[in-house]
């Protein structure tokens, strides 16, 4: 068994949470982790620390203290102005080796997952990914992480008795942020950093900000898969006519045809619309969990044997590039308009 960079004997009894920030604002997940971290720390009688990486992020320290941290570690450097896994991993690694906390929690966001995986390898510890609950035994100091598998059908409890830190990524939205107490104070520790641009192997080409859509609130969802061959404009027209939103399976999200926040399914969003369309989607279980609570599912697929039809109330065997525009025309005619 490979030993972790610091051992159980060398750890400090403390909970650390990684406080993700974007453009100088703490992400909601950071407040959720502070809230859960505070509960665990209080029960164990341990301190709670927040770790913030970025550039000119000192003003966030007070916000972290107000939301429950006892101390805040700041990794502030020009090269941390934008997220890049190479520099952020180096900064968080340096902080963790200095603070040696027993527990380190990271938000299960795209950047958080990227960072946590790399850190776990560097620290030679484990990573409990996408946890939906956490418990800390005050007697043994062992963190128990709860994760769901097979679309929610299996619940697994994970523990890491021999490696430190006990790392977990936490699914956003499972813990509620606590109210801020502006009167709380604590220590702010600035971490000396020696970062060089040579370690960067990635760079930002363009920053694209999504519309911030929340698919969980959509009553109509028009989802497209690989079978729509990137034509999300026609799905957008149908969604607009029905007052709904566009969703997607993972392949079109991976290929950049839609924003990641529109991915539906196990690693995307789980929705409960009244009406869901599945256009050019095979029906993999990873996707189906995202719409199985829909009241009505309409599937359009060229393959009459496609598994999606087993989960659908209306099954249309046909080419989505013909069926969807025909549906749009029919809706427009019914409404006496040629506009969406
Ligand atoms: C751990 C893990 C997590 C995952 N999480 C997710 C997740 O959250 N969400 C998700 O979606 N996937 C997820 N996946 C991927 C998932 O397993 C499937 O690979 C994915 O859902 C398939 O997407 P698809 O149906 O668009 O593509 P395909 O499986 O390639 O299906 C395309 C379908 O389009 C049909 N088709 C082709 N042309 C047309 C046409 N002109 N008109 C109509 N139909 C047509 C085909 O018959 C086929 O059924 C995950 C996978 C793993 C391993």
**What digits encode the pLDDT tens for the residues 32-71?**
999 999 999 999 999 999 999 999 999 999 999 999 999 9
CA of 280 to the centre of ligand 1 (A): 8
CB atoms within 10 A of CB 87: 24
Q: Whose CA is nearest to atom 48 of ligand 1?
A: 282
* Cβ of 319 less than 6 Å from ligand 1: yes
If you average pLDDT over residues 129-138, what whole number do you get? 94
Give the Cα separation of 225 and 228 in Å (integer): 6
Q: What is the dihedral of CA 211, 215, 221, 224, to 10 degrees?
A: 70
Contact, 268 vs 213, CB < 8 A?
no
Closest atom of ligand 1 to 249 CA is 11
* Cβ of 285 less than 6 Å from ligand 1: no
Highest mean pLDDT: which of 29-33, 148-152, 269-273?
A: 29-33
Ligand 1 mutation target, pool 117, 231, 251, 289, most atoms within 8 A of CB: 251
* Cβ of 303 less than 6 Å from ligand 1: yes
Closest atom of ligand 1 to 321 CA is 41
Q: What is the pLDDT of residue 199?
A: 93
Give the Cα separation of 124 and 162 in Å (integer): 11
Q: What is the pLDDT of residue 242?
A: 96
Domains detected in the chain: 12-199 (3.40.50.620), 215-335 (3.40.50.1220)
CA of 244 to the centre of ligand 1 (A): 21
* Cβ of 247 less than 6 Å from ligand 1: no
Give the Cα separation of 224 and 235 in Å (integer): 7
CA of 267 to the centre of ligand 1 (A): 13
Closest atom of ligand 1 to 303 CA is 47
Q: Is residue 188 scored above 90 in pLDDT?
A: yes
Give the Cα separation of 100 and 109 in Å (integer): 23
Q: Whose CA is nearest to atom 31 of ligand 1?
A: 282
Tell me whether residue 183 is exposed, middle or buried, using C-beta atoms within 10 angstroms of its C-beta: 0 to 12, 13 to 18, 19 or more. Answer: exposed
Condensed to tens digits (0 to 9), the pLDDT of residues 93-122 reads: 999 999 999 999 999 988 999 999 999 999
Condensed to tens digits (0 to 9), the pLDDT of residues 320-336 reads: 999 999 999 999 999 87
CA of 332 to the centre of ligand 1 (A): 29
* Cβ of 113 less than 6 Å from ligand 1: no
Ligand 1 mutation target, pool 117, 154, 252, 284, most atoms within 8 A of CB: 284
Q: Name the pTM for this structure.
A: 0.70
* Cβ of 16 less than 6 Å from ligand 1: no
């Amino acid at each position: 068994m490979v030993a972790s960079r610091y051992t159980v004997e060398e750890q400090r009894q403390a909970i650390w949470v990684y406080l993700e920030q974007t453009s100088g604002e703490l992400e909601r997940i950071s407040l959720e982790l502070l809230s859960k971290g505070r509960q665990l720390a209080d029960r164990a009688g341990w301190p709670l620390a927040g770790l913030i990486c970025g550039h000119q992020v000192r003003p966030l320290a007070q916000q972290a203290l107000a939301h429950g941290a006892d101390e805040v570690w700041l990794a502030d450097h020009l090269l941390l102005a934008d997220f890049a896994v190479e520099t952020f991993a180096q900064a968080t690694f340096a902080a963790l080796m200095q603070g040696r906390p027993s527990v380190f929690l990271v938000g299960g966001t795209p950047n958080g997952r990227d960072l946590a995986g790399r850190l776990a390898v560097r620290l030679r510890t484990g990573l409990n990914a996408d946890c939906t609950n956490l418990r800390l035994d005050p007697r043994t100091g062992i963190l128990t992480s709860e994760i769901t598998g097979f679309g929610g059908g299996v619940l697994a409890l994970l523990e890491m008795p021999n490696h430190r830190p006990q790392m977990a990524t936490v699914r956003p939205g499972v813990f509620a942020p606590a109210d801020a107490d502006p009167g709380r104070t604590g220590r702010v520790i600035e971490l000396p950093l020696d970062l060089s641009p040579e370690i960067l192997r990635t760079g930002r080409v363009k920053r694209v900000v999504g519309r911030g859509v929340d698919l969980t609130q959509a009553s109509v969802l028009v989802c497209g898969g690989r079978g729509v061959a990137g034509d999300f404009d026609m799905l957008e027209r149908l969604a607009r006519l029905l007052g709904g939103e566009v969703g997607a399976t993972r392949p079109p999200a991976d290929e950049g045809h839609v924003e990641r926040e529109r991915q539906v399914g196990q690693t995307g969003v789980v929705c409960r619309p009244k009406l869901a369309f599945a256009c050019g989607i095979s029906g993999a279980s990873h996707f189906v969990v995202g719409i199985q609570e829909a009241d009505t599912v309409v599937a359009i697929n060229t393959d009459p044997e496609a598994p999606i039809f087993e989960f659908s109330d209306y099954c249309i065997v046909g080419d989505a590039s013909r069926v969807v525009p025909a549906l749009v025309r029919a809706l427009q005619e019914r409404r006496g308009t040629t506009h969406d």
